[in-house]
Amino acid sequence: MGFFTDDLGRQAVAQRPNALILLWTALAAGSLVALEEDNRKRLGRAARVVLAVWAVLEAADGDSGFRRTAGALTLASLVRR
């Protein structure tokens, strides 16, 4: 298995976004356009939680070394904030 391939030898870097990434995108976009400060903060927090869940799942069970590394780096970035 290479860094960019899964157990079957298929490329596992660029894949269709899963539900968590789509939800994170929607929440993050919503936090940018929300009119009230409280709503911006809530949506931003929710976006970070969803991204953290995605990062944990990728770090633990990503299809390739690249995806596991991306999950771990994303999680480290979120924890550092």
| Tens digit of each residue's pLDDT (9 = 90 or more) over 4-49 | 888 888 888 777 889 999 999 999 999 999 999 999 999 999 999 9
Distance CA(51)–CA(55), nearest Å, equals 6
User: End-to-end alpha-carbon separation of the chain, Å?
Assistant: 33
Domain segments of the chain as ranges? 24-80
Instruction: Tell me, rounded to whole angstroms, the distance of Cα 3 from its chain centroid.
Output: 19
**Spatial contact of 64 and 12, defined as CB atoms under 8 Å apart:** yes
Q: Tell me which of 1 and 76 has the higher pLDDT.
A: 76
pTM exceeds 0.85 for this model:
yes
pLDDT digits (tens, 9 = 90+) for 38-54: 999 999 999 999 999 99
